[in-house]
Amino acid sequence: MNDLTPNREERTANLKGMGCARKRVEDARFTQGQGNYVDDVKLPGMLHGDFVRSPYAHARVKSINKEAALALPGVVAVLTAEDLAPLNLHWMPTLAGDKQMVLADGKVLFQGQEVAFVVANDRYIAADAVELVEVDYEELPVITDPFEALQSDVVLREDLAGQTEGAHGPRKHHNHIFTWEQGDEAATNQVMDSAEVVAEESMYYHRTHPCPLETCGSVASMDKVNGKLTLWGTFQAPHVVRTVAALLSGIEEHNIRVISPDIGGGFGNKVGVYPGYICSIVASIVTGKPVKWVEDRMENLMSTAFARDYWMKGKISATKEGKITGLHCHVTADHGGFDACADPTKFPAGFMNICTGSYDIPVAYLGVDGVYTNKAPGGVSYRCSFRVTEAVYFIERMIEVLAIELDMDAAELRRINFIKKEQFPYTAALGWEYDSGDYHTAWDKALKTVDYEGLRAEQAERVEAFKRGETRKLMGVGLSFFTEIVGAGPVKNCDILGMGMFDSCEIRIHPTGSAIARLGTISQGQGHATTFAQILASEIGISADSITIEEGDTDTAPYGLGTYGSRSTPVAGAATALAGRKIRAKAQMIAAYLLEVHDDDVEFDVDRFVVKGAPERFSTMKDIAYAAYNQAIPGLEPGLEAVSYYDPPNMTYPFGAYVCVMDIDVDTGVPEIRRFYALDDCGTRINPMIIEGQVHGGLTEALAVALGQEIAYDDLGNVKTGTLMDFFLPTAWEVPNYETDFTVTPSPHHPIGAKGVGESPHVGGVPCFSNAVQDAFRAFGLRHTNMPHDHWRIWQTANKLGLHD
Amino acid sequence: MSDKMHIKLTVNGEGREFLAEPRELLIYALREHLNITGPHVGCDTSHCGACTVTLNGKSVKSCTMFVGQANGADITTVEGLGTPDALHVLQESFREHHGLQCGFCTPGMITRAAKLLEENPTPTEEDVRFGMAGNICRCTGYQNIVKSILAAADEMNGSEQGQTVEAAE
Ligand code: FES
Ligand code: FES
């Protein structure tokens, strides 16, 4: 060592490892228009597919006449269920244990359902031909209300007629899918019956849609010479898609290559398998040419996976002082025409059983009934981990309603019921074991930062001024405290189509000391290429700038379950750290050999191994990498590679405290967000810049859902919100600046203590925005009103409360 | 099928000629005939701005125009704003301030922002939010996009070199 040798701090900084706000490596191509999304894939001779879709929500398909379409020059094929049936591909399994029509088989169950697939030389000819396919429908009675569905004689799913047993137990009615029960109902009822205070409320969490900016699509290319199928597509779980494709098509899995190229946002929309993917594959097999299918926005909103649509009925009991004693929740879940929820198999309502939230509630019960209606199938986690958004909305509204019932401050009510720091690991009444948390510290920090008492004083003054006629604006203080449950999940209880929900990382160190790591996940904007390299840099002492991260190609990446439910960092991030540690273990032996000491006499130091007690004697990771390939080291295989498949021992439980201050004009119903403060605790922070970006994005999607975004149907099952004219996506004009903050409570069981963050802001944000609106009207007697709080609905609320008189 | 039309465009400074049906949307003509895949399709109903290009000096959503209408036009897309060795200030600024995540909106955003800063070189935050309201981003929540654009404006006003800076690093 000499004066030029960088010191430890400099060496650490050079690594660009964990904790630094490393700029993203993805950005160069995206800012220069060089991204490669599925619609950018262009192959020689490629054909284009387009769907004939049902205009009716429920109808019998009496006949399909393809002749005119086939006669159009440039049309290559028109596929219907009849063509797919011999291949047994006219139906496909859903992730929820149900099955779904790929193309209408005798009837249609929702507006926009896929009826026929037209394949033509270009997208314009395909669209023209769609218009020429004549379908003769016989309209059937339409049911869009799940409660009506459970009473009705109309059988929606004739294919299931007579089946009293579904994938999740007994079916009570021909339109019923499952009942899922958690907790102890008898004990909960007993507590309710003798409670000092009980608050009840029914709430509807409306249907909405993840609506990533890029719609779904695929390009299938069947190479008949080599018997290989290559499939590019918008897949959040490419490996699972390969397995499903193998099972459905009969093509052996090694002959299928699935590639998720750049993905233009997912938010849960791109987890499921859609008819378009299957049809592009079949069409490529039939025509021998590559076939592209990319849906348009209207098709995306009408037919691919929606989110939410939960009718929740709650009861919460407490002592007069506000100590919660029990919670009862029943959900009627509208799943649409097919049960195509994307939940781990054993959880038909996802992790809705996290609905006891951040509170120490001794006894609870949750019952969920899934129901078929004439609406699009789905039920995905829109920027959340499997129904956690619904669960957190439910409990955070119940807390507010209880506060009203008790005439108590809602912040104080939360504080006295939080699970205490010393109670972790904490087993909740509905079974989950929360790994860690420090809720009181986070809550106090949040309330202090926003001057909570000052806000309440200002609000009280505003109410008085309003009553005196001096202002027409009310002020709402929205609170929410959430606990997420992410990182699905332990293989023992979490699987998708039988695949355990582990994840993976494979690392190769190159001779000159740079590296490539491949993971089973796939980024859709989260910046994996940036952050996973940071994890690895800290673990193996090679600069993040010298590490390439690759995901999404099933021919090269190790098997993994993909990216959704904030599972990449908790699961694949752990695999990355552990694979890195395997590299380090071998590097240690190489270093010892190079330094001519015993293995135990060297120790890792940032980017090198040093001889214990003699730091001037060292071998850098660069030296070690080279030695791994050019020296014959006794007892060691050449090369420096590792792979790790990580089965998490538990979920991780990120949490956060949010406060929203809102002014509402009671005459126009327009809410103005004056301030939004978000404190997130996602455990160890890998890249603060990216965390902050995730929080901004998640909050904005929360704002959308709370304040206007919905998929609405009329009584005939027509989608009323099928374009971006009607489906609310906020613009820069409607969105405020957010203040972000954090505490750090590392996960005790995660190799680097990280918990995941992508979805927390959405989960915590929705109740926060909603509570702000509702809180503004609390002084005038409002107890609960359903989202979305668009201007019209807010105006109606004000009107019903007599504020326009 | 209608007859094909002989289309001439200047795209990113280069003359391009091709045959297309006049009814084809400009965005598809750019993407499929000319392989210019920076501009994306997020809606094709003029709401999202992912397809934004500069056409004859104005920001245009290229899904809103038939290629037949665009015949003869001078078009700039994100590919024409900078080069890998000399990025546009905005391209550098979006990276610096984390103004993008999935990147799908980014080409439209940057193209629109470049025009906005030409029209108004010293915008307020409000000007930026209003001027960018035709471009939807689903990932970032806009805060860092606004920050990127304001920082680029500062940079362009303070910088001698005009619209480009040397690529960082
Ligand atoms: S694709 Fe042109 S505005 Fe959306
Ligand atoms: S970065 Fe994904 S839509 Fe803007």
CATH number of the domain encompassing residue B35: 3.10.20.30
Is the domain of B105 the same as that of B134? yes
Residue A637 CB neighbour total at 10 angstroms: 9
Q: pLDDT value at position A523? A: 85
Distance CA A681, CA A753 (A): 11
Q: Are A478 and A411 in contact (CB under 8 A)?
A: no
- Which active-site residues of A does the annotation give? 236, 383-384, 759
Residues A682 and A720 in one domain: yes
| A138 Cβ neighbours under 8 A, 6+ residues apart | A59, A60, A62
pLDDT tens, residue by residue, B24-46? 999 999 999 999 999 999 998 99
Same domain, B75 and B95: no
pLDDT in tens, A287-309: 999 999 999 999 999 999 999 99
Domain with A223 in it = 38-140+215-263+270-303
Number of domain units in chain B: 2
What Å distances lie between residue A614 and A100, A230, A586, CA to CA? 66, 54, 21
**Which one-letter amino acid corresponds to residue A794?**
I
Kindly state the average pLDDT of the residues A402-421.
98
Q: Is residue A77 part of a domain?
A: yes
Residue A499: per-residue pLDDT: 83
Q: Do B136 and A724 touch (CB under 8 A)?
A: yes
Ligand closest to B136 (CA) is 2
Instruction: Give the list of residues 6+ apart from residue A794 with CB closer than 8 angstroms, or none.
Output: A664, A669, A670, A671, A773
- Average pLDDT on A656-667 reads 98
A333 and A400, same structural domain? yes
Give the end of a domain, one of B30, B59, B80: B80
Are A604 and A675 within one domain? no
Q: Is A225 inside a domain boundary?
A: yes
- As a whole number of angstroms, the distance between CA A340 and CA A348 comes to 10
Task: Decide if A213 touches B, using CB distance below 8 A.
Answer: yes
Residues B98 and B75 in one domain: no
Residues A113 and A233 in one domain: yes
Residue B100, in any domain of the structure: yes
Q: Which of A267, A698, A732 sits opposite B142 (nearest CB)?
A: A732
Q: Which domain holds residue B127?
A: 89-158
The residue from A254, A287, A303 where one domain ends is A303
Residue B76 covered by a domain = yes
Q: Which is higher by pLDDT, A784 or A647?
A: A784
Cis, bond preceding A671 (omega within 30 deg of 0)? no
Region A518-533: what's the mean pLDDT? 90
The amino acid present at A370, given as its one-letter code, is: G
Is B64 within the bounds of a domain?
yes
Task: Supply the pLDDT for residue B159.
Answer: 62
Of A213, A262, A689, Cβ closest to residue B138: A213
Q: Confirm whether A294 is domain-assigned.
A: yes
Decide if A125 contacts A158 (C-beta within 8 A). no
**If pLDDT is split at 50, 70 and 90, which confidence band does B168 have?**
very low
Of A113-122, A349-358, A486-495, A717-726, the poorest mean pLDDT is in A486-495
pLDDT averaged over every residue in chain A: 95
pTM, rounded to two decimals:
0.95
| One domain, residues A600 and A633 | yes
**A659 shares a domain with A595:** no
User: What pLDDT does A379 receive?
Assistant: 87
Is B26 found in the same domain as B69?
yes
Asked whether residue A10 is domain-assigned, the answer is no
Distance, in angstroms, between B142 CA and closest chain A CA? 6
Mean predicted confidence (pLDDT) in A424-433: 96
Percent of chain A with pLDDT over 70: 99
Tell me the CA distances in angstroms from A587 to A13, A518, A662, one per residue in order: 21, 20, 56
Q: Which position has the higher pLDDT, A752 or B110?
A: B110
Lowest-pLDDT choice from A23-32, A146-155, A441-450, B1-10: B1-10
Residue A554 falls inside a structural domain: yes
Between the two ends of chain B, the Cα-to-Cα distance in Å is 52
Structure tokens at A167: 């994938």
Q: Is there a contact between B144 and A696 if contact means CB atoms under 8 Å apart?
A: yes
State the amino acid at position A372 in one-letter form: Y
In terms of domains, do B20 and B43 share one?
Answer: yes
| Overall number of domains in chain A | 3
**Domain containing A330 — which CATH number?**
3.30.365.10
Beta-strand ranges (E) seen in A597-715 are 602-605, 608-611, 614-620, 641-646, 655-665, 671-681
In sequence order, what are the residues at sequence separation of 6 or more whose Cβ sits closer than 8 angstroms to the Cβ of residue A190? none
The larger pLDDT score, comparing residue A528 to residue A46, is at A46
User: Could you tell me the CATH number of the domain that includes residue B148?
Assistant: 1.10.150.120
Is A689 within 8 Å of B128 when comparing Cβ atoms?
A: no
For residues B149 and B109, state if they share a domain: yes
Query: Which phi and psi angles does A652 have, rounded to 5°?
Result: -110, 155
Interface subset of B 95-134, CB within 8 angstroms of A: 95-96, 98, 100-107, 110, 128-130, 132-134
Q: Are residues A641 and A675 in the same domain?
A: no
Q: Is B104 inside a domain boundary?
A: yes
pLDDT band at A4 (very low <50, low <70, confident <90, very high): low
Hey, is A450 helix, strand or coil? coil
pLDDT tens for residues A219-260? 999 999 999 999 999 998 899 899 988 988 889 999 999 999
Query: What is the percentage of chain A residues whose pLDDT exceeds 90?
Result: 85
In a domain, B75, yes or no: yes
- pLDDT at residue A642 in the model: 96
On whether residue B74 sits in a domain, the answer given is yes
3-state secondary structure A477-540: EEEEEEECCECCCCCCCCEECCEECCEEEEEEECCCCCEEEEECCCCCCCCHHHHHHHHHHHHH
Residue B42 lies in a domain: yes
Coil, strand or helix at A278:
helix
The model's pLDDT over A69-104, given as tens digits with 9 standing for 90+, comes to: 999 999 999 999 999 999 889 999 888 889 999 999
Residue-level pLDDT at A259: 96
Pair A483, A335 in one domain: yes
B123-137 pLDDT, tens digit per residue, is: 999 999 999 999 999
Fill in the amino acid letter for A448.
Answer: K
Q: Does the CB atom of residue B101 touch ligand 2 within 6 A?
A: yes
- Residue A202 burial class via C-beta count within 10 angstroms: exposed 0-12, middle 13-18, buried 19 and up: exposed
Q: How far apart are CA A149 and CA A155, in angstroms?
A: 9
pLDDT of B169 above 50: no
Q: Which two tokens stand for residue B80?
A: 């024409």
Residues 107-146 on A with a CB inside 8 Å of B are 122-125, 128
Same domain, B94 and B76: no
Residue B57 is classified by DSSP as T
Q: Which of B138, B142, B143 to mutate to test the pocket of ligand 2 (most atoms within 8 A of CB)?
A: B138
CA A475, CA B10: separation in Å to the nearest integer? 54
- Among A588, A615, A646, the domain boundary falls at A646
pLDDT for position A560: 85
CA B114 to mean position of chain CA atoms: 8
**Per-residue pLDDT for A271 more than 90?**
no
Q: How far is the CA of A719 from the centre of ligand 1 (A)?
A: 21
> Residue A507: which residues within 8 A CB-CB, separation 6 or more?
A515, A516, A517, A536, A540, A576, A579, A580, A583, A641, A642, A643
* A692 contacts in chain B (CB < 8 Å): 98
Q: Are residues A286 and A345 in the same domain?
A: no
Q: Is A213 within 8 Å of B107 when comparing Cβ atoms?
A: no
Reduced to 3 states (helix: H, G, I; strand: E, B; else coil), residue A66 is coil
Residue A173 belongs to some domain of the structure? no
pLDDT at A565: 66
Strands A641-646 and A614-620: unpaired
Q: Of the bound ligands, which one is closest to the alpha carbon of residue B63?
A: 1
Q: Are residues A686 and A765 in the same domain?
A: yes
Average of per-residue pLDDT across A636-641: 95
- Claim to verify: residue A292 and residue A311 sit in the same structural domain: no
Query: Pick from A617, A646, A675: which residue ends a domain?
Result: A646
- What does each C-alpha distance from A576 to A289, A518, A525 come to in angstroms? 38, 9, 19
Report the pLDDT averaged over residues A466-494: 92
Q: What is the pLDDT of residues A572-599, one digit of tens each?
A: 888 999 999 999 999 999 999 999 999 9
CATH number at residue A72: 3.90.1170.50
Tokens of A390: 């619904």
Extract the tokens encoding A364: 């609870």
Do A678 and A608 lie in one domain? The reply is no
**Neighboring chain B residues of A735 at a CB cutoff of 8 Å:** 141-143
Q: Are residues B67 and B97 in the same domain?
A: no
Q: What angle do CA A114, A120, A122 make, to 5 degrees?
A: 110
The continuous run of DSSP H or E covering A76 comes out as strand A75-79
Show which of B80, B105, B122 is a domain's final residue.
B80
Kindly give the pairing relationship between strand A655-665 and strand A671-681: antiparallel
Residue A491: per-residue pLDDT? 84
Query: If you average pLDDT over residues A100-113, what whole number do you get?
Result: 97
Q: Does a structural domain hold residue A210?
A: no
Of B23, B49, B80, which one is at a domain's C-terminal end? Answer: B80
Q: What is the ipTM of this complex?
A: 0.95
Residue A28 resides in a domain: no
**B106: in domain:** yes
- Separation between Cα atoms, residue A256 and residue A250, nearest integer Å: 10
Q: Which of residues 23-42 of B touch A (CB under 8 A)?
A: 23-24, 28, 31-32, 35-42
Cis amide prior to A425 (ω within 30 degrees): yes
What distance, in Å, lies between the first and last C-alpha atoms of chain A?
Answer: 82
SS3 assignment, position A622? helix
Backbone angles phi, psi at A535, to 5 degrees: -60, -50
